[in-house]
Structure 1
């Protein structure tokens, strides 16, 4: 479990993270979203003990990060895939980390295989890696200690479609085994595909949080009939909001209420269903439209 309580980070008079509180639960993937400059990376750095909060606190597995005896065995982190020594080989990078965690060097070979880096690639120096290979190596580092928590910032950046699909399966299986995942990404479709919970941040403040199902749910009803105009008038007269669509109507009334009104008005209904859920992209932009980066050209 990850818990942030009233986290605030100021640089001078400017608060880049402002009173942020949320919880990422075991067995679930929490998508952490926001436009550039929203405070996501700073928040994640505070969770991992890489930045001290101005005020507020956070815990991982019930204790502050700095109180963990062997953090790499408990928390796997990928905050910057480029932060790897370019002169070391991929295997050396993992073997050194394994040694620091008290793990055998053979663990490096196991993780190279897990993330799909070949023996030859593992023996190559990191300076020659593509962005996608660096991401895979960073993910291997995060998984090295067999942690209970993953904190990942843009882990799919640079991965090809097959790599993105692999990442999705890796994260869902990790959570299914009871692991906690905090995942930040600009790939909204990928977040929508895997996230159980969402935390949306803008200009350092939480804009929305909750289960993905609840946040993406759209209330109301979609209906088509043989006389949409008359059905619309009946719904409006009954006090419901009504919007005309290319094929029918959407309304704030429930499915049952629409059905009863249509029956009373003797209007044949050809399609009647709850409104489809909103997409994450729609939710994201509606939440963050006023919280993006300022236009630096102005």
Structure 2
């Protein structure tokens, strides 16, 4: 005859059976606490609209000179400035559309010299580029606009107030002389200078670069009469095949040199 289990033992057996049954029915992973998501939850905030570009920035390089051109109000799709480089000639033509100029433009275009040196505005509207005081390039005076110095390395391109501009082009040049050969002409030694097309049309900035290259090649050139003859040819005979400069001609000043058609006599 087996003894009957006590009431305490029966209670423990029932609790153990219920625990086993509940464990078998428990979910495989715990349910995280927190509110249940609903279909009408608040949408994510809208993305901000991109801010339009403040202006197109174009890098312009010719020879050892680098400029950065900025046009306020322009964009990548409408830069309002184009650049036409000619590496063989050492030039880069910078053309500003009419929308970049005038009273209703967002602001004047700017030209910054970023390769070192300084900008040197000349009285005729051209602008020289100098390094250590020596000309290394220049910008021809644009038609329909002016190059106005902001500081030693920045220019603004401004159209005349109240005008209706059609655009403007300035040409960056970094080569002044194609060739320079000594010979005997007109009774003495003469240097035949073949200037580049850019230097012939760039005004005083072009003369500055031609002169710097001539003096660097031959210091004997560095006299006042030779410089006056050079400037006279650039002003009065820019299309002549060669500009013939004679060191033996007298130093009579630029005005008298021009009156003598660049050939003053002793």
TM interval, shorter chain, is: under 0.3
User: What TM-score do the two structures reach when normalised by structure 1?
Assistant: 0.21
Which one has the largest radius of gyration? 2
- State the structure with bigger RCO (CA 8 A, min sep 6), 1 or 2: 1
Counting helix residues as a fraction of each chain, which structure ranks higher? 1
